[in-house]
């Protein structure tokens, strides 16, 4: 039976192929060439999907917060929003230790937590006085601000189509608040500031994604925001009514925690302007 004998290194035969043996055919392998790895481009589509789910969950949280403003102080509601994330982080720290908190940008991480506390509190104060639909519409200023900040601070490229889409959304926001037509409520300024805080928070998320893990950013956000909101909490605390109020508070905490994680992860995958 015809066979093939590997000839590399044997009897002086060069390792470029196989020598025919008893009628066997000769196989020559071409030299292999190095394949260049594909460039690391941000997974914008996946990031946009995660951001969309995160924003949907935040909308649900905002609706629950609006309901609670009839009986609870905004600071207490904002603190409760962070509670689910805080509990998850404490469990994570007990399992993995303080290595989770290892970061090269501690002040940026703490600043992100402060922005999270500020944006949530200001938005909840605002929806105490204005309809939530109007307040949410005004938050459409956030993508516009993120695009500007991403271009200026992160050097992200923004095309004409993206600028056009964001500008249309910004014009829609102006139509909703109708400045100068006698229907503008001063609380809308709080929503605009909250949107600016939110935008800067996402820029920090994008900046930190290059050096810190998702777990690290989530941990610092939960710890920093909770500490900040806990300072005035004793002065405004009101024990919630068992039943509907406590159920909404628990639901809000869990949904807000998941939404925060999704938003942070989305900005690790996609450019800030694309995700928003």
Answer for the pair 56, 228: CB distance below 8 angstroms, yes or no.
no
Both tokens assigned to 174: 């102006």
pLDDT, tens digit, 9 for 90 and up, residues 1-22: 444 444 444 444 444 444 444 4
Residue carrying structure tokens 């601000």: 145
Query: What is the arithmetic mean of pLDDT over 160-180?
Result: 70
Cα–Cα distance measured from residue 199 to residue 21, given in angstroms and rounded to the nearest whole number: 72
pLDDT, tens digit, 9 for 90 and up, residues 225-268: 999 999 999 999 999 988 999 999 999 999 999 998 888 888 77
pLDDT, tens digit, 9 for 90 and up, residues 105-159: 999 999 999 999 999 999 999 999 988 888 887 777 777 777 777 766 666 676 7
pLDDT surpasses 70 at 190: yes
What confidence score (pLDDT) does residue 37 get? 40
Domain locations along the chain: 75-275
Answer for the pair 205, 115: CB distance below 8 angstroms, yes or no.
no
DSSP state of 13: -
Cα–Cα distance measured from residue 93 to residue 87, given in angstroms and rounded to the nearest whole number: 10
Both tokens assigned to 134: 């109007």
Ranges 66-80, 136-150, 169-183: which has the least confidence: 169-183
pTM for the model: 0.73
pLDDT, tens digit, 9 for 90 and up, residues 86-103: 999 999 999 999 999 999
Query: What is the arithmetic mean of pLDDT over 170-176?
Result: 71
Residue carrying structure tokens 């949107």: 195
């Amino acid at each position: 039976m015809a066979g093939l004998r590997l000839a590399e290194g044997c009897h002086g035969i060069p390792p470029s192929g196989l020598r025919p043996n008893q009628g066997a055919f000769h196989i020559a392998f071409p030299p292999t060439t190095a394949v260049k790895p594909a460039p690391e481009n941000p997974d914008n589509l996946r990031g946009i999907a995660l951001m969309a789910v995160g924003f949907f969950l935040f909308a649900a949280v905002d609706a629950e917060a609006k309901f609670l403003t009839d009986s609870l102080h905004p600071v207490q509601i904002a603190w409760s929003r962070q509670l689910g994330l805080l509990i998850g982080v404490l469990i994570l720290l007990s399992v993995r230790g303080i290595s989770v908190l290892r970061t090269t940008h501690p002040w940026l991480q703490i600043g992100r937590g402060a922005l999270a506390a500020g944006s949530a509190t200001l938005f909840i104060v605002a929806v105490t006085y204005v309809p939530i639909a109007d307040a949410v519409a005004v938050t459409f200023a956030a993508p516009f601000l993120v695009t500007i900040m991403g271009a200026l601070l992160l050097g992200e490229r923004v095309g004409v189509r993206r600028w056009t889409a964001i500008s249309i959304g910004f014009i829609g926001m102006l139509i909703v608040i109708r400045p100068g037509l006698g229907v503008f409520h001063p609380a809308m300024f709080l929503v605009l500031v909250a949107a600016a805080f939110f935008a800067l928070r996402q820029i920090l998320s994008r900046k930190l994604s290059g050096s810190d893990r998702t777990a690290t950013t989530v941990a610092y956000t939960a710890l920093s925001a909770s500490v900040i909101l806990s300072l005035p909490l004793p002065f405004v605390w009101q024990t919630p009514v068992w039943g509907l109020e406590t159920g909404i508070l628990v639901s809000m905490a869990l949904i807000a925690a998941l939404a925060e994680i999704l938003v942070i992860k989305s900005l690790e995958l996609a450019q800030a302007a694309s995700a928003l």
